[in-house]
Chains A and B, each alone.
Chain A
Amino acid sequence: MSNFFSKAEVTSSGRPVFLRNEVECHLLSGVDLEPEDHHHFSPLKSGIFILTTHRLLWLPSSSATTPTSASAIPLAAISHIFSSQKSLKSVFHSPRIRFQVLVSPDGRVFDPGSGSGSGFSSGSGSRSVVVTAVVRGKGDCDGFLVKFWDSWRTRAWESNETSGSGSGTGLASGSGAGTGTGGGLYSADGSVRMVGVAGILRKEQEMWESTDKSLQDAFQDLNALMSKAQEMVKLAEKMRQKLLSGTGSQTSGTNDEDMGSKEEIQDWLLSVGIISPVTKESAGALYHQQLSRQLADFVTTPLERAGGMINLIDAYCLFNRARGTELISPDDMLQACSLWEKFDVPVMLRKFDSGVMVIQNKSHSDEEVFARIKSLVTKPEALRNGISPTDAAMTLGIAPAMAKEHLLTAESKGLLCRDISPDGFRFYINLFPEIDPCNIYFVKDYGICSTWIKAVSTSG
């Protein structure tokens, strides 16, 4: 039935087995594969169509009634991809992707791995078949097409073959040139020879230049960067393996030096944005723990200056400014602060009802602040005109934003009342509890109301 296609291996859970260096690029579901001419193969209906860097795979959907095996078309066998034609007709039926596949003499898809000869090209009289992939399911057909073009042009399958053969030919020409001309820096074909110390230095130089160029290329072209990303991922994996094997085999704290270098690796990984795998095992990465302690130490001085309470945002700015380089992110800051609960540090993170977050001394007590506010707000001047957050800030020796939070908290406890007017937002001592609604004209002699009346009436 599908002798036409190459066989694609599939895992027990139905995922395709990828070749070495093969990466999946795109996936479409509900795809039929149809030949232009039915005598090559019978159509494959409603499967999952996967594009990788090396092949096109078609997997039967799990609802297939007859068991069809997974099929593959190597990208190397594709001779042409047709661009999508947008016509009136195409609006009405499902999107299609058409491409031309080379066919070997025995009626099957040309398989480059089978070694059927390097002289096999599209111009040597081989036959080709146009295959249409009809996308009946939902999927980004245009995106698939773009990636298809990219993968086909990149020819990722060739890099494996050429890297092996390339170095071979280089050596051959080098040794050939060496025996041919005998001495001299320049070989017969004009390239610089690698001899002696000069040669070693030159080799180093060339390596450095090629790395530099490679970096430049990588950053210039985002697509190229993505291929380099594979190398980065490999590197990160290597690091990860090293870390995991290290922590697994050693008991904690035996070898300081080793632990130190492992912490270094973890820190380095974190600084390039890779979360250390060890984090998941120990609660809180070492990085965050250290940061947390450092932050607790740092923040004591500003706290004292600010009167025991400092806005989290202010603390963040101060801390980063002090660090100079290696600035921390707001997320790191939050993590570090939330770790304080686990340690015995004299500071804590606190969130007010209004959502404002502050760092305050553990020794800070709300009651003490309320007592100070109460004494402030019962002064004659404050009885007459109330207090604004700025007044409170000056008296309490804290920032106005903090003072406002305190005043709002005191209000919610029933200590103060607000007064909103064109003059602004002010607070007065709360007289309401003392007033009797059944006897509104009565004023107790020694209560707060009479104190207030006295203060108000002396203003004339």
Chain B
Amino acid sequence: MVIILISSLRFRLEAENFSPISIYCEGSTCREMQKLGDFKLPHFFNYPPYFTLQPVRETREKQVQLWKELILDYCRTQKIFVIKLEEEFPLFSNSVIERTLSHEAREAFLSALAAEGRAEWLDKGHRSCLILWHRIQEWADIIVNFVKDNGFEDSVMTVEEIRFGIESRRTELHGIDRTILMRALKLLEQKGKLAIFKGTSTDDEGIKFSV
């Protein structure tokens, strides 16, 4: 199957090389690249130096930038909210070229995301990182839209209902990480858009919207 793909790719590439204008090779490059789940990987994922933390400043800056984009994209499409550094993370390894990111490299890239406000370390030892492919404010906006779209302006819902209820299935809220959701809700509470109240157990925390 791989041979067929590659020969068709070669044909495709050769055909496209004859045109004078540079073409968006998305289709051809992707078919050649392996996937992680349904996530399409860029061509440089198979470039071995991509997995070694580069010492030269300019090169390192570019490398960090590419990894930041890739991590956010991957987490967004796969709905991943937390990365644990000591556990295996599919994006950090490439079995085709037999390379894995070192612990140091992982920490470097995630710290770069944290510096940008796109991630947060959950512990001082930097073992666990919260990924904010939407910023908290963005999540807050999504919640507000969700409430408005479904007419929940004056109603009450539990936190779990927001996370896993039928209504959220069509939105990005479905399956959201609890920590992130609570932060967004607290942000909205400060703005007076809702009120959080405790139920009989943590699972039953309720939200009263007043959007």
Question: Interface of A with B (CB < 8 Å)?
Answer: 386, 411-412, 414, 417-421, 426, 428, 430-433, 435, 437, 440-446, 449, 452-454, 456-458, 460
Question: CB within 8 Å of A: which of B80-113?
Answer: 98-99
Interface status of B3 (Cβ within 8 A of chain A):
yes
Q: Taking CB as reference atom, which chain B residue is nearest A428?
A: B49
B69 within 8 A of A: yes
Q: Which residue of B lies closest to A383 (CB)?
A: B47
CA of A433 to CA of B43 in the docked complex: distance in angstroms?
Answer: 14
Query: How many whole Å from A419's CB to the nearest CB in chain B?
Result: 4
- Residues of B at under 8 Å CB distance from A? 2-3, 6, 9-10, 13, 16-17, 22-26, 29-30, 32, 40, 42-44, 46-49, 51-52, 54-56, 58-59, 62-63, 65-66, 69-70, 98-99
Assuming the contacts A417-B59, A418-B49, A454-B13, asked whether A441 and B40 have C-beta atoms less than 8 A apart, the reply is yes
Q: Min CB distance, B11 to chain A, in Å?
A: 12
In the complex the two chains form, what is the Cα distance from A426 to B43 in whole Å? 20
Question: Given A421-B98, A457-B6: A430 and B59 within 8 A (CB)?
Answer: yes
Question: When the two chains form their complex, are residues B10 and A457 in contact, meaning their CB atoms are under 8 A apart?
Answer: yes
The reply to whether A433 and B62 form a contact with Cβ atoms under 8 Å apart is yes
B62 touches A432 (CB 8 A): yes
Interface pair B59/A441, CB less than 8 Å apart? no
Q: A449 to B43, Cβ gap below 8 A?
A: yes
A-B pairs, top 4 by smallest CB distance, nearest first, are: A417-B49, A419-B48, A432-B62, A445-B22
Give the contacting residue for A420; candidates B6, B47, B52; CB below 8 A. B52
Say yes or no: B43 contacts A414, CB within 8 Å: no
Asked if A428 and B26 sit within 8 Å, CB to CB, the answer is no
Interchain CB contact under 8 A, B29 and A453: yes
- A446, B22: Cα distance in complex, Å: 8
List residues of chain B with CB within 8 A of the CB of A445: 16-17, 22-23, 25
Cβ–Cβ contact A456 & B46, under 8 A: yes
Alpha-carbon distance A384/B153, docked complex (angstroms)? 59
Q: In the complex the two chains form, is A419's CB within 8 Å of B62's CB? A: no
Q: Which of chain A's residues have a CB closer than 8 A to the CB of B17? A: 445
> In this complex, what residue of A is CB-closest to B102?
A420
A453 contact set on B, CB distance < 8 A? 29, 32, 43
Q: Judging by beta carbons under 8 Å apart, are B25 and A442 in contact?
A: yes
Residue in contact with A460 in the complex, picked from B6, B22, B55, B69, CB distance below 8 Å? B6
Which residues on the A side are within 8 Å of B22 (C-beta)? 444-446
- Residues of chain A lying within 8 A (CB to CB) of residue B42: 440-441
Contacts of A431 in B (CB 8 A): 44, 47, 49
Q: How far is the CB of A458 from chain B (nearest CB, A)?
A: 8
Contact B99 A421 (CB under 8 A): yes
Q: With A441-B40, A445-B17, A460-B6 in contact, do A414 and B48 touch (Cβ < 8 Å)?
A: no
Q: Which of B9, B10, B44 is within 8 Å of A435, CB to CB?
A: B44
Say yes or no: A421 contacts B6, CB within 8 Å: no
- Which residues of chain A come closer than 8 Å to B52, judged between CB atoms? 417-421
A430 to B48, CA, bound (A): 11
Jot down 9 A-B pairs with beta carbons below 8 A, ordered by A. Answer: A417-B54, A421-B52, A421-B99, A430-B49, A431-B44, A435-B44, A442-B25, A445-B25, A457-B6
Contact yes or no, A443 B49, CB < 8 A: no
Select the residue from A420, A428, A440, A454 with max chain B CB neighbours within 10 A. A440
| Chain A: CB-nearest residue to B60 | A432
* Among candidates B6, B26, B48, B56, residue contacting A412 with C-beta atoms closer than 8 Å: B56
Q: Is the CB of B48 within 8 A of A421?
A: yes
Bound-complex Cα distance A419 to B62 (A): 16
From B2, B29, B56, A443 is in contact (CB under 8 Å) with B29
CB contacts (< 8 Å) of B70 on chain A: these are 440
Tell me, rounded to whole Å, the shortest Cβ–Cβ distance linking A425 to chain B: 9
Instruction: Kindly list chain A residues whose C-beta atoms are within 8 Å of the C-beta of B29.
Output: 441, 443, 453
Are A457 and B32 in contact, CB atoms less than 8 angstroms apart?
yes
- Chain A residue at smallest Cβ distance from B2: A460
Contact (A437, B62) CB under 8 Å given A418-B54, A453-B29: yes
- Enumerate chain B residues within 8 angstroms of A420, measured Cβ to Cβ: 52
- If A417-B59, A421-B99, A440-B66 are given as contacts, then 17 extra A-B residue pairs at C-beta distance below 8 Å, sorted by A number, are A414-B58, A419-B48, A421-B48, A426-B48, A430-B59, A431-B49, A432-B63, A432-B66, A435-B66, A441-B26, A442-B24, A444-B22, A452-B47, A453-B29, A456-B46, A457-B9, A457-B32
A444 to B24, CA, bound (A): 8
Q: Which residues from chain B contact A441 at a C-beta distance below 8 Å?
A: 26, 29-30, 40, 42-43
Check B47 against A418 for contact (C-beta < 8 Å).
no
| Cα A134 to Cα B9 with chains together (Å) | 98
Please give, as numbers and ranges, the residues of chain A lying within 8 Å of B49 by CB-CB distance.
386, 417-419, 428, 430-431
Q: Are A443 and B54 in contact (CB under 8 A)?
A: no
Kindly list chain A residues whose C-beta atoms are within 8 Å of the C-beta of B3: 460
Task: Specify which of A386, A443, A449 is in contact with B48 (CB 8 Å cutoff).
Answer: A386
Least Cβ–Cβ distance between B95 and chain A, in angstroms:
13
